Amino acid sequence: MLLWRTTLLNELNFGLNLWALGGTGLVAGFLGSALGIGGGFLIVPILTLALHLPMHVAIGSSLVAIVANSCTAAGVYTKARLTNVKLGLFLETATIPGAIIGGLAAAVIASSILSALFGLILLYVAYTMVVRQYLMSEDVLSADNSVAPDNTPNNLSSSLANSYYDQNLGKVVTYKVTHTPAGLGASFFAGVLSSLLGIGGGIIKVPVMNLVMGLPMKAAIATSAFMIAITTTVGALIYHYYGNIYPFIVAPLVIGVVIGARVGVELTQRARGILLRRIFGGILFLVALLMFLRTANVI
């Protein structure tokens, strides 16, 4: 432990550009809130590959930035009634235990393994964003709701049903929530990934809520942001305990993220994100490749 600490201190004995950190936060906050995935996918690769921070420090910093991102987004989404608060709390009962397990596991897993794992997840997200059909249109969301028999109890289903006013459609959208056991399982997995890799977990939650549980895309993004705020807080506290959160690294990131997230949320409410998602998916493919090269010590 002492040897690891000394090594870490040596790794951190260099200067960091405040504007580079702030700019990273700004872009991650914007894209993360606009796409509903937190922003950790951008922050961790930049901090490790471009700014040469150790993986554990990058993940800890990323988790704090994601809390800032999701709190900013949740403040707007809850006001607009897009967030399904009851569903978010219900799924959190599975996500937080997952986050605890992920946080504890991250302390004993080598950085190279984390990098490789992160690269794999990036590839999955890139595939999801570029290829999968469900992200292309709000209208497609409930077309494939019959993938499995729904075993959600009726009273729970009716309690979780919700509605909101959609500005683009100009009408009130009402929806039911189905397949809650599948949602709980996916939420647990998202919690593990969140703490283990320093990501929000929205890449799992948003598709599952949208495709499997029957939530409209906007409601899924908003509920995911609310959940991510709670989940990443748990992970961030654990990373804080292990000494992987440095105030001078996190501060410019947080400021950049808050500004970027505010702009991203406005964009989400007004625009369709097809092109943005595809561009981001392409970027993720590139970053995933870089992460694998780094794991193999090629770069």
Q: Is 216 among the residues that bind other proteins (CB under 8 A)?
A: no
Cα–Cα distance measured from residue 98 to residue 116, given in angstroms and rounded to the nearest whole number: 20
- Shortest gap between Cβ of 268 and other proteins (angstroms)? 16
Residues 10-29 that bind other proteins (CB under 8 A): 12-19
Q: How many residues does the chain have?
A: 299
Q: Which of 24, 33, 48, 72 binds other proteins (CB under 8 A)?
A: 72
User: CA separation (Å) from 195 to 71, 198, 292?
Assistant: 17, 5, 20
**In whole angstroms, how close is the CB of 77 to other proteins at the nearest point?**
8
Question: Which residue, 241 or 296, is less far from other proteins as judged by CB?
Answer: 241
Taking the C-alpha atoms of residue 199 and residue 277, their distance in angstroms, rounded to an integer, is 17
Q: How far apart are CA 173 and CA 175, in angstroms?
A: 7
Q: Report the nearest approach of other proteins to the CB of residue 7 (Å).
A: 14
- Interface characters, 75-114, with other proteins (x: CB under 8 A): xx-xx-x-x-xx--xx-xx--xx-xx--xx----------
Q: Answer whether 200's CB lies under 8 Å from 70's CB.
A: yes
CA 254 to chain centre: 15
Query: What is the Cα–Cα distance from 155 to 295, expressed in whole angstroms?
Result: 49
What is the per-residue burial (b if ≥16 Cβ within 10 Å, else e) of 61-99? bbbbbbbbbbbbbbebbbeeebbbeebbebbbebbbebb
Alpha-carbon distance of 99 to 120, in angstroms, equals 19
Number of other CB atoms surrounding residue 258 within 10 Å: 17
Q: How far is the CB of 168 from other proteins (least distance, A)?
A: 20
Verify binding: residue 215, other proteins, rule CB under 8 A. no
46 touches other proteins by CB under 8 A:
no
> Which amino acid belongs to residue 175?
Y
Shortest Å, Cβ 286 to other proteins: 27
Binding track over 220-259 against other proteins, x by CB under 8 A = ------x--xx--xx-xxx-xx---xxxxxxxx-xx--x-
d(CA 161, CA 11) in angstroms, rounded, equals 50
Write each residue from 166 to 205 as x if it is in contact with other proteins (CB under 8 A), else as -, in one continuous string. ----------------------------------------
What token pair was written down for 264?
């991203």
| Shortest distance in whole angstroms from residue 290 CB to other proteins | 22
- What residues make contact with other proteins under the rule CB under 8 A? 9, 12-19, 53, 57, 64, 67-68, 70-72, 74-76, 78-79, 81, 83, 85-86, 89-90, 92-93, 96-97, 99-100, 103-104, 156, 159, 226, 229-230, 233-234, 236-238, 240-241, 245-252, 254-255, 258
